[in-house]
Structure 1
């Protein structure tokens, strides 16, 4: 009788086939994870005015690390190197902000002088499109948001709202100051992470290498492209050549579409002042420079450290622009590298996902750099 009771008890303990196992299923984990991602992205978008300048400050400090290490190797005390690095970063920021303010100010003053030519080109465009069987009313309705007054008003509005960027600039300057004087604390934290989470330490090291390579190379090539563009525009006699040079330098930090953003204004002014021939020359020159510099030469310098595929770069641009606006577009690549470092590279189980984000040889090159660092540290 007891045997029967034990048998019955064992049968009762076996779950029925239709019963779900205890714990969270993969569907529940996926839903909760997606909800958490949405909440985080919403928080970033709501506080982008503080988060993005602070992240930009972190990028600038990382990019300036080679300078600080060089000063320390030259025998300068650590605190002296920190002060020099901070002053250099302040000067770089002041120069960049000064160029942008000057360019927008000049554009806001000069562009209204071309209003009559804008109107003439606008009317000619409507007449030309009307020759294809579309009534001028329909064309005017489609182009009503692209009127000359709208274009001029937009430029003047941007120039008039420079004061709104003062808050972001303040956050950037304060964050720079604290981050530059925090290397001892960062070094101690990285040592702790390296002992307890070596995989995360390697991921952070790859992130800093990628950020340094990205900003230094983008700045150098941005200056080269801007100088060549300004020279070509001056030869062609395009107005505001220096302004378009500043625009080309800034848009060089925006992957994929930055070239187009820097091309449209000078091409339009070349069309207004020199006709279709000059506009075509601007397009050809800009395209040739972009093809050679940004498609062949620049990726050779940044690809080893960054390693993101062109598709991922473009999608990251679209995504971070939607989340954080203009600064999100400029910081798209570093932001993607940060997400990759924390969520993919730091977890060995996510290594398979890295194949969708990076170029085929990016991981092998990263492993070789990591091995070389270990050898150098051992010697």
Structure 2
């Protein structure tokens, strides 16, 4: 009996890792093209139920393309306007509070001297909390997203093309030829369903959190509460760290406007709202739609941000779901990998 020769497992892992690195590096180099393509795909999936509803009710063929396209245009133009206004406001806010910041620095230095803490240590800590640096980072984040969204011509053309091909694509997936790729078809359908569910639930609860944040900031007297509410809604799509990004600007403004007490109240309100809405209520509606463990979610955030920048941070979950559908769910032998990335053992109810 001859032994079965196979490729060593370690070599397979190394080859797969090298292929992933080369692929991601290539995607990063052409991120200006891939970013809008992936954004258009997610937007088309988000508005697909509109096309399905119109088709079910016998609407004319041209409306199956025009209605989703108009909805996407409305979303894109609204996002461009919001991000442009936010970037302009954040760029002008920091200089207006320079005097208040200097006063806080002096008070902190005096308190540190009374406690026996060296001035050099205090200055180093203050540099890390400089609101100018924080606002510069947030302005860069908003500007990075704005650059992507301002590629409206390319995005609109891509959305239009995808909407025109949607019916043909659906027919291909439901044809007899697709039966030979049943696992892939099932994985793509699951990806589309889970992505829509994730977007809808995240948007609804993001609006709830944003409205509550705006009310809390308005009561506490923090400037531009509506702007920070919109920022909280946008950063709601960023897993793990989005909440912190949305909290930093109003907390700093609370410190500059009303002192440490206001800052603590802002942080407490954000923590309470986020814990109740996003940690207790939202998971009951979202359920297992994401199908990604906390560790995989955080790693996907890092990877997609590295590849596509700020847009990758916003689309980290949908893009990870797409990668899971193509690489894991479409392979019948990949059940163990699906259990690994979802953090759920086979048979526990998660796909």
1:338 aligned onto 2:331? no
Q: Structure 2 matches for 1:35-74, cutoff 5 A?
A: 35-74=18-57
CA–CA distance in 1 between the matches of 2:120 and 2:76?
48
Q: Structure 2 matches for 1:284-299, cutoff 5 A?
A: 284-299=268-283
Aligned pair count reads: 350
Q: For the Cα contact (< 8 Å) 2:187–2:330, is it kept in 1? A: yes
- How far residue 48 of structure 1 moved from its aligned partner, in angstroms, is 1.7
Equivalent residue for 1:95?
Answer: 78
- How far residue 141 of structure 1 moved from its aligned partner, in angstroms, is 4.2
- How far residue 122 of structure 1 moved from its aligned partner, in angstroms, is 3.4
Q: For the Cα contact (< 8 Å) 2:209–2:273, is it kept in 1? A: yes
Of the structure 1 ranges 272-281 and 91-100, higher mean CA displacement relative to structure 2 is found in 272-281
- How far residue 120 of structure 1 moved from its aligned partner, in angstroms, is 2.1
- How far residue 167 of structure 1 moved from its aligned partner, in angstroms, is 5.8
Q: Structure 2 matches for 1:1-379, cutoff 5 A?
A: 24-129=7-112, 133-141=116-124, 143-144=126-127, 146-151=129-134, 164-165=147-148, 168-191=151-174, 194-358=178-342, 360=344, 365=349
CA–CA distance in 1 between the matches of 2:52 and 2:168?
16
- How far residue 341 of structure 1 moved from its aligned partner, in angstroms, is 0.7
CA–CA distance in 2 between the matches of 1:121 and 1:195?
68
Partner SS, residue 239 of structure 2: coil
Partner SS, residue 181 of structure 1: helix
Unaligned runs of 5+ in 2: none
Of the structure 1 ranges 140-149 and 278-287, higher mean CA displacement relative to structure 2 is found in 140-149
- How far residue 66 of structure 1 moved from its aligned partner, in angstroms, is 1.1
- How far residue 133 of structure 1 moved from its aligned partner, in angstroms, is 4.3
Change (3 A) 1:194 1:298: farther
Larger of the two Rg values belongs to structure? 1
Of the structure 1 ranges 99-108 and 256-265, higher mean CA displacement relative to structure 2 is found in 99-108
Of the structure 1 ranges 154-163 and 22-31, higher mean CA displacement relative to structure 2 is found in 154-163
- How far residue 63 of structure 1 moved from its aligned partner, in angstroms, is 1.2
- How far residue 178 of structure 1 moved from its aligned partner, in angstroms, is 1.4
Partner SS, residue 103 of structure 1: helix
- How far residue 274 of structure 1 moved from its aligned partner, in angstroms, is 1.5
Deviation string, structure 1 residues 207-235 (Cα, Å, up to 9, x no partner): 00111011111111111111111111111
Deviation string, structure 1 residues 122-146 (Cα, Å, up to 9, x no partner): 3434444555544212432454465
Deviation string, structure 1 residues 344-370 (Cα, Å, up to 9, x no partner): 111111111111222538976566xxx
- How far residue 307 of structure 1 moved from its aligned partner, in angstroms, is 2.5
Deviation string, structure 1 residues 42-76 (Cα, Å, up to 9, x no partner): 01121222212211110111111111111222221
Partner SS, residue 255 of structure 1: coil
